[in-house]
Amino acid sequence: MKIIMLGAPGAGKGTQAQLIADKYGIPHVSTGDIFRANIKNGTELGMEAKKYMDQGLLVPDELTVRILLDRVAKEDCKDGYVLDGFPRTIPQAEVLDQALTERGDRIDFAIDVDAPDENIVKRMSGRRACLACGATFHVEHIPPKQEGICDRCGQELVLRDDDKEETVQKRLDVYHEQTQPLLAYYEKKGVLRTVDGTKTMQEVFAAVTALLG
Ligand code: AP5
Ligand code: MG
């Protein structure tokens, strides 16, 4: 099963993608997590990506597409994956489609986690992220078992550099401009499904699993 998670920054794409990955036994592939792991490890890719991420801007397509195609070509992705944060522009979606078509393959579902901007700004300040495994928590809504420590891998949880209020607003603007057109793109392909992202994490996941079967 090949799934794309769509939705604004903070809508809950990563949270739902992780739940899907665990339930269906497919890898959770997040371009944001790949970039953050590279920043943490001080790689050249990380340094380049950070310039854009810290401003709330998108990393250029050439760089992002290469990273994503390399990742999904790995053995663990051969039976499917859940993409979180990719594609984010029409050109990225076209490159992915072309790569899949060449192998006689296609995306099964593009799930839009729909949440209005007001909900999002509130959520972001409470988010805590694990830069080691990509897990995400919220200090109030989805707290880790032990404060500041990741439930999944035991590493330290941090506030992301791009979760400052003014950067969040910029990311939302970029989303509406460059990423939202993907909803129409996938609707046209007949694979778009929408879930209400303002519900609790469990309710959203129940809606997702009802779609996926
Ligand atoms: P990325 O890491 O993808 O960030 P994003 O799209 O801005 O989305 P977020 O991770 O902020 O939110 P989310 O939807 O995953 O929400 P979450 O589940 O954490 O990208 C970061 C940057 O990398 C980009 O700005 C860009 O620069 C670059 N980049 C990445 N991919 C790129 C690409 N393809 N092209 C170009 N550039 C790219 O949830 C948010 C919070 O709410 C959490 O605290 C969570 O615990 C909580 N929460 C989740 N669900 C619920 C719920 N139902 N109720 C209450 N709280 C909830
Ligand atoms: Mg995320």
- For residue 193, the model assigns a pLDDT of 98
Q: Pocket of ligand 1, candidates 48, 55, 59, 137: which has the most ligand atoms within 8 Å of its Cβ, to mutate?
A: 59
Please identify which of the residues 152, 160, 164, 170 carries the catalytic annotation.
160
Q: Is residue 127 annotated as a catalytic residue, yes or no? A: yes
- For residue 166, the model assigns a pLDDT of 87
Q: Can you tell me the mean pLDDT for 86-109?
A: 97
95 falls in which pLDDT band (50, 70, 90)?
very high
Using an 8 Å Cβ cutoff, are 86 and 68 in contact?
yes
Calpha distance 187→192 (Å, rounded): 5
- For residue 121, the model assigns a pLDDT of 86
Token pair for residue 110?
Answer: 């593009």
Q: Pocket of ligand 1, candidates 5, 31, 173: which has the most ligand atoms within 8 Å of its Cβ, to mutate?
A: 31
Q: Can you tell me the mean pLDDT for 86-112?
A: 97
Q: Can you tell me the mean pLDDT for 169-187?
A: 97
Radius of gyration (C-alpha) of the chain in whole angstroms: 16
- For residue 66, the model assigns a pLDDT of 95
Least confident of 60-64, 117-121, 194-198: 117-121
Calpha distance 96→65 (Å, rounded): 8
Does position 165 have pLDDT exceeding 90, yes or no? no
211 falls in which pLDDT band (50, 70, 90)?
very high
20: Cβ contacts below 8 Å, ≥ 6 apart: 3, 26, 28, 82, 208, 212
Average pLDDT of the chain is 96
The pLDDT > 70 percentage for the chain reads 100
Does position 157 have pLDDT exceeding 90, yes or no? yes
Calpha distance 115→108 (Å, rounded): 22
In tens, the pLDDT along 31-51 reads: 999 999 999 999 999 999 999
- For residue 122, the model assigns a pLDDT of 84
Ligand 2 centre to CA of 112 (Å) is 13
- For residue 212, the model assigns a pLDDT of 95
- In this structure, which ligand is nearest to the CA of 151? 1
Give me the DSSP letters along 50-119: HHHHTTTPPPPHHHHHHHHHHHHTSGGGTT-EEEES---SHHHHHHHHHHHHHTT----EEEEEE--HHH
Does position 213 have pLDDT exceeding 90, yes or no? no
